[in-house]
Amino acid sequence: MLETSPHKERQLMTKTHPTPLAKILAVDDSRVMRRAISKILSKQYTVIEAEHGEDAWSLLQHHDDIQIVFTDLSMPYLDGYGLLERIRTSNDDHIAALPVIIITGKEDDDEAKMEALDKGANDFIAKPFDKAQLFARAQSHIKFEQTSKKLSETAEKLEKQAAVDELTGLGSQRYFQKAADEQLSSLIRHKGHCCVLRLDIDDFNRIFIKHGKQVADEIIQNIGQCLNKHVRKEDMAARVGLAKFALFLNYTHLDQAIKLAQRIIDEIPHRKLSSKNLRFTASAGIYEPDINKDSRFNDIYNKTEACLQQAIQQGGHTLVSESQRPTVNNKPLTPLSIEQAIYLLGQGEADKVKPHLETLYSQLKPLLLLFTQFLKK
């Protein structure tokens, strides 16, 4: 068996797996023009050809690595204007942002170029074109597309990092504020309801000072795992401070939120650390607002915070809640199932169903969304 040096192995790997060439789509009903473009650019790029706009559009659907489009304006089936319009209005962000270079002939006057620009053309190149001119256009726009893609990926990565707390995997404070504002707006529109929960690790500063950052971080991670375990997908959980956590519980009544919070604060003292045998506890505050058009999340959050401070003042490891929602006969509503609601409606007792419409809607919403998607197919 022959042996190769590491250097030769790297050379072989490079030859076996070369860096893919940037891909260009050339669209023209003239085979001569398509061949000319391919001949000039194929040494530096991979060129695929289309005879008219419909063929080009099909290729764009199946090749997500195309980085630039050169297209003629006058073509059968779908002309350059139609292709350009489809590209710019595509639901695929990559396709919609593709650089499109219009190949113009003697028949294309300034008015035609203006129309192409209005529809989103990036540049023009006139027939007959020379090698240097065509290559320069391709190189310039592909470099710009690649740079834009890297910037977009970096921005997306930074946005994702800003939305997630790295230590716990929960949402960040910035994410929670923005998402809660948006969710509250939705609840106002749909006459929904919610509860907000705030949770703090008791005596965290003392634990940090006595046991150090490693133990403190492990406790925070432990709380994050606990919250991820108990919170539903439709709710939002975030770390909003050093040892501070918040939950936005969608379509949740106070009695349901209290049960959830009690399970969490009862479980926390029994959670184990890998680095130290240390018992830690948490306190929680819950606020159930009466949502209306004037509701503001900051106000709701501040009232939730006030409940939490009361729990801390009572010695910690406890829960304080408050509700501003109206009750029926001074008693909380007993949840009604969809089956019970259908039965009551069948008995002509719609008045008994009406107080439960918000909760019933929250149960049916996923099914309604799925039904809507099915109808669109």
Tell me what the mean pLDDT of segment 126-152 comes to. Answer: 73
Would you state the pLDDT for residue 350? 81
Would you state the pLDDT for residue 1? 34
Residue 224 predicted with pLDDT over 80: yes
Predicted confidence band of residue 148 (pLDDT cuts 50, 70, 90): low
Measuring CA to CA, which residue among 357, 320, 351, 313 is closest to residue 338? 357
Cβ atoms 283, 312 nearer than 8 A: yes
Would you state the pLDDT for residue 287? 96
Would you state the pLDDT for residue 281? 95
End-to-end CA distance of the chain: 59
Amino acid at 153: E
Reported as a single tens digit per residue, the pLDDT across 6-55 is: 444 444 444 444 557 889 999 999 999 999 899 889 888 999 999 999 99
CA-based max dimension of the chain: 89
Reported as a single tens digit per residue, the pLDDT across 277-305 is: 899 999 999 999 999 999 999 999 999 99
Q: Quick one: what percent of the chain has pLDDT higher than 90?
A: 44
Would you state the pLDDT for residue 152? 56
Reported as a single tens digit per residue, the pLDDT across 347-364 is: 787 877 777 776 677 667
Tell me what the mean pLDDT of segment 182-187 comes to. Answer: 92
Tell me what the mean pLDDT of segment 135-146 comes to. Answer: 75
Would you state the pLDDT for residue 226? 95
- CA 16-20-24 angle, 5° bins: 145
Report the 3 state secondary structure along the chain: CCCCCHHHHHHHHHHHCCCCCCEEEEECCCHHHHHHHHHHHCCCCEEEEECCHHHHHHHHHHCCCEEEEEEECCCCCCCHHHHHHHHHCCCCHHHHCCCEEEEECCCCCHHHHHHHHHCCCCEEEECCCCHHHHHHHHHHHHHHHHHHHHHHHHHHHHHHHHHECCCCCCECHHHHHHHHHHHHHHHHHCCCCEEEEEEEECCHHHHHHHHCHHHHHHHHHHHHHHHHHHCCCCCEEEECCCCEEEEEEECCCHHHHHHHHHHHHHHHHHCCCCCCCCCCCEEEEEEECCCCCCCCHHHHHHHHHHHHHHHHHCCCCCEEEEECCCCECCECCCCCCHHHHHHHHHCCCHHHHHHHHHHHHHHHHHHHHHHHHHHHC
Tell me what the mean pLDDT of segment 235-245 comes to. Answer: 92
Would you state the pLDDT for residue 310? 93
Tell me what the mean pLDDT of segment 105-132 comes to. Answer: 81
Amino acid at 158: L
Query: Residue 128: is the preceding peptide bond cis (ω within 30°)?
Result: yes
Would you state the pLDDT for residue 344? 77
Residue 162 predicted with pLDDT over 70: no
Instruction: Round to whole Å and give the CA distance between 61 and 82.
Output: 16
Would you state the pLDDT for residue 126? 82
Q: Which domains does the chain have, with CATH numbers?
A: 18-148 (3.40.50.2300), 173-323 (3.30.70.270), 335-376 (no CATH)
Would you state the pLDDT for residue 127? 82
Would you state the pLDDT for residue 15? 45
Average pLDDT over the chain, rounded to whole?
83
Token pair in block for residue 7: 């250097």
Predicted confidence band of residue 274 (pLDDT cuts 50, 70, 90): confident
Would you state the pLDDT for residue 296? 95
Reported as a single tens digit per residue, the pLDDT across 61-108 is: 999 889 899 999 999 999 999 999 999 999 888 898 888 999 887 776
Residue 242 predicted with pLDDT over 90: no
Residue 309 predicted with pLDDT over 80: yes
- Beta-bridged to residue 26, according to DSSP, are 49, 70
